[in-house]
Amino acid sequence: MDYIPDRLRAGEQPADALEGEYGADADAPVWPVEPGRYRLVAAKACPWANRSIIVRSLLGLEDVISLGLPGPTHDERSWTFDLDPGGVDPVLGIERLQEAFLNRDPDYAKGITVPAIVEVETKQVVTNDFPWITHDFFFEWRDHHRPDAPDLWPDECREEMEAVMKRVFTEVNNGVYRCGFAGSQEAYESAYERLFAALDWLEERLTDRRYLMGESITEADVRLFTTLARFDPVYHGHFKCNRNKLSEMPALWGYARDLFQTPGFGESIDFEQIKAHYYVVHTDINPTGIVPLGPDTAGWLTPHGRG
């Protein structure tokens, strides 16, 4: 996904989503659940794409759905595969993700966003509907999960989890962008107050429970983690979310480190790519393109004490 202010919305479906359904009985374009058929294209720099990388790993889908990694920066046209030899994705054989969107719809003129699921043979996008990508990884690809995969959508707390995720999305995931792209002092101050009210709520919630929904990791934790991982390196300074750092909120900082040190989470985070993405791409906020050297990220590996 890409972060621009017109993405700020109450629901999670992006305005430029291409839709597709898995299974044999669907009205929309139908895509079989078939190992090796698809490639997840997801930049580590992007928080929305970062979710899909984490969920793919947690569920053990690495050998079922391959992973393509665009570089951290892009132009107005598309995410590009500049991390790969020759700037070409080694499986899809394309230089720009835009090519896969145009293979699906030659007249497609909306945003080229990650994450995106691409069918390898036809090189066309199946969907870039980011909340449904991780939802489908859990529900539609269940037969291919590793035996000890976590229950990311537990039935017993589904209704409460949906409410928590909605508040996290609206006030935190999008809240940092609302601060960063505010067009007036009044809009910024309102966004700032909303963001930190939500972070204070999360700090209190996580004081007496290990994860957002209790003792087990769920999709809600994945969705919050990707914003927390970017908070001190990017959002605190670049987006002016500077009441305090994440590392100054004891419960949230311990929780974030707990997740970071859990297999599937920390290895999906590349702080240098994250900083390059925000500080280079957002020329309206950072016209010099200078990327900060800090902060020191060694603290992420310190004991979290939440076990």
Residues with active-site annotation: 46, 177
Per the annotation, does 141 bind a ligand? no
Distance separating alpha carbons of residues 94 and 96, to the nearest angstrom: 6
3-state helix/strand/coil string of the chain: CCCCHHHCCCCCCCCCCCCCEECCCCCCCEECCCCCCEEEECCCCCHHHHHHHHHHHHCCCCCCCEEECCCCCECCCCEECCCCHHHCCCCCCCCEHHHHHHHHCCCCCCCCCCCEEEECCCCEEEECCHHHHHHHHHHCCHHHCCCCCCCCCCHHHHHHHHHHHHHHHHHHHCHHHHHHCCCCHHHHHHHHHHHHHHHHHHHHHCCCCCECCECCCCHHHHHHHHHHHHHHHHHHHHCCCCCCCHHHCHHHHHHHHHHHCCCCCHHHCCHHHHHHHHHHHCCCCCCCCCCCCCCCCHHHHCCCCCC
Residue partners of 135: CB distance under 8 A and separation at least 6: 153, 219
Q: Give me the sign of the Cα torsion angle 17, 18, 22, 24.
A: positive
